[in-house]
Chains A and B, each alone.
Chain A
Amino acid sequence: MMDDFEEIKNEELLTPEEDARIDAMLTQAADERNAEVDYDAMLAAIKRKASEDGLLVFSPEEKRQKSAPSRLMKRLSHIAMGIAAACVVGLGVAALVSKSGSDVGDRTANLPDITPQSDALTTAEPISSPSAWEQIDGTEGPFAVGTDTPKVSGGVDDPVPTAVPVRFNGHVETVRLTELGVITQNSQLITDGICAAVGNYEEYGRILRVRASAKGGVVCYDCTVIGFSPYETDIGYAEVEFRSASSFVVYWRVNANQYFLIHISGFDYNETVELLNTFVVA
Chain B
Amino acid sequence: MPERDFDSIYRNFSRLVYWTAFGVVHNREQAEDIMQNVFLNALRHLDTLAGFNDSQLKSWLYRTAINAALDSKRRVKHEMLSDEPIAVNVADATTDVEAAAERRLNSSTVVSAMERIDAKYREVLTLHYFSNMSHADIAEALKITVGTVKSRLARGRTQLARVLSKEGFEYDG
Instruction: List A residues at the B interface (Cβ < 8 Å).
Output: 1-3, 5-8, 12-14, 17-19, 21-23, 25-30, 32-34, 37, 39, 42-43, 45-46, 49-50, 53, 55-56, 58, 70, 109-110, 112-113, 122-128, 130, 132, 184-186, 188-189, 192, 203, 205-206
Pair A19/B110 contact, Cβ less than 8 Å: no
Q: Which of B10, B41, B171 contacts A25 (CB 8 A)?
A: B171
A205 touches B70 (CB 8 A): yes
> Does B103 lie within 8 Å of A3, measured CB to CB?
no
Determine if A17 and B173 form an interchain contact, defined as CB atoms under 8 angstroms apart.
Answer: yes
Show 9 residue pairs from A and B whose CB-CB distance is below 8 angstroms, ordered by the A residue: A1-B144, A2-B143, A8-B155, A19-B158, A22-B161, A25-B171, A29-B110, A56-B3, A205-B66
**A26: nearest chain-B partner, CB-CB:** B129
A127's contact among B68, B145, B147, by CB below 8 Å, is which? B68
**Contact residues in A for B14 (Cβ distance below 8 Å):** 39, 42-43
Question: Are B107 and A188 closer than 8 Å at their CB atoms?
Answer: no
- Bound complex: CA A225 to CA B158 (Å): 39
**Contact digits for B127-148, partner A, Cβ 8 Å, 1 yes 0 no:** 0011010000001001111011
Complex contacts, B164 vs chain A, CB 8 Å:
22
B63 close to A188 (CB less than 8 A): yes
- A54 CA to B29 CA, complexed, in Å: 24
Q: How far is the CA of A7 from the CA of B155 in the complex (A)?
A: 10
A46 pairs with B44, CB closer than 8 A: no
Residues of B within 8 A of A189 (CB): 60
Interface residues of B, Cβ cutoff 8 Å to A: 3, 7, 10, 14-15, 18, 28, 32, 35-41, 43-45, 47-48, 56, 59-60, 63-64, 66-68, 70-71, 74, 103-104, 106-107, 110-111, 119, 125, 129-130, 132, 139, 142-145, 147-148, 151-152, 154-155, 157-158, 160-161, 164, 171-173
- A122 and B154 contact, CB distance less than 8 A: no
| Interface pair B44/A132, CB less than 8 Å apart | yes
Q: A26-B125, A33-B107, A53-B40 are in contact. List 17 more A-B contacts (CB 8 A).
A: A1-B143, A5-B145, A13-B158, A21-B172, A29-B106, A29-B111, A39-B15, A42-B36, A46-B35, A55-B40, A55-B43, A58-B3, A109-B144, A110-B142, A122-B74, A132-B44, A206-B63
B152 to chain A, nearest CB (A): 7
Q: Is the interface of B mostly helix, strand, loop or mixed?
A: helix
Q: How far is the CA of A13 from the CA of B139 in the complex (A)?
A: 21
Is B139 within 8 A of A5, CB to CB? Answer: no
In the bound assembly, the distance between CA atoms of A22 and B169 in angstroms comes to: 11
Known: A7-B151, A13-B158. A127 touches B125 (CB 8 A): no
Contact flag A127-B10 (CB < 8 Å), given A27-B129, A112-B66, A186-B63? no
Check A5/B151 contact, CB under 8 A, given A23-B157, A33-B130, A39-B14. yes
Who on chain A is nearest to B41 by CB?
A: A127
Could you tell me if B172 and A18 are in contact, using CB atoms closer than 8 angstroms?
A: yes
Chain B residues closer than 8 Å to A109, beta-carbon distance? 143-144
Distance A70 CA – B43 CA, assembled complex (angstroms): 13
Nearest-Cβ distance from residue A222 to partner chain B, whole angstroms:
15
CB distance from B10 to the nearest CB of A (A): 5
From known contacts A1-B139, A7-B151, infer whether A206 and B36 are also in contact, taking CB-CB under 8 Å.
no
Docked CA distance A29–B105 (Å) = 9
How far is the CB of B71 from the nearest CB of chain A, in Å? 6
**Residue of A18, A33, A188 ringed by the most chain B CB atoms within 10 A:** A33
B129–A19 CB distance below 8 A: no
Among the listed A37, A45, A113, which residue makes an inter-chain contact with B119, where contact means beta carbons less than 8 Å apart?
A113
Contact (Cβ within 8 A) B71 A19? no
- A241 CB, nearest partner CB in chain B, Å: 21
Q: What are the residues of chain A within 8 A of B147 when measuring CB–CB?
A: 5-6
- A58 and B2 alpha carbons, distance in the complex (Å): 9
Expressed in whole angstroms, the minimum distance between the Cβ of B100 and any Cβ of chain A is 9
Chain A nearest CB, measured from B123 CB (Å): 8
**How long is the Cα–Cα vector from A233 to B111 in the complex, in angstroms?**
46
Q: Is the CB of A28 within 8 A of B106?
A: yes
Instruction: Give every chain A residue within 8 A of B125 (Cβ-Cβ).
Output: 26
B142 nearest CB neighbor, chain A only: A110
Residues of B within 8 A of A205 (CB): 63, 66-67, 70
Q: Which of B18, B68, B107, B125 gathers the greatest number of chain A CB atoms within 10 Å? A: B107
